[in-house]
Amino acid sequence: MDTTTPETLSAQRLANAERELELFERQPPLGSRAYLRGRNARRQIILELRQELTHDHE
């Protein structure tokens, strides 16, 4: 039986997304547009997960 709460799941997804962004920023250089596109996409995921967590607390 899975006892994972939606809040815990969101927190785990946020931690994974932050870790993915950190790894992405350490990779060998890409073209600047490709880098910014990838970084911005990952940051957007992080922002959405943070908003979801904050909304769960309200």
Burial bucket for residue 44 (CB in 10 Å: 0-12, 13-18, 19+): exposed
Instruction: Indicate if the pLDDT at residue 9 is higher than 90.
Output: no
* CA–CA separation, 55 and 53 (whole Å): 5
| Residue carrying structure tokens 């920023």 | 25
Task: Read off the pLDDT band of 58 (50, 70, 90).
Answer: low
Instruction: Indicate if the pLDDT at residue 44 is higher than 80.
Output: yes
Q: Are 40 and 25 in contact (CB under 8 A)?
A: no
* pTM greater than 0.95: no
Q: How many Cβ atoms from other residues are within 10 Å of residue 52's Cβ?
A: 16
Instruction: Indicate if the pLDDT at residue 2 is higher than 70.
Output: no
> Residue 1: its pLDDT value, please?
55
> Residue 57: its pLDDT value, please?
65
Which helix (DSSP H) or strand (DSSP E) does residue 9 occupy? helix 6-26
Instruction: Indicate if the pLDDT at residue 26 is higher than 90.
Output: no
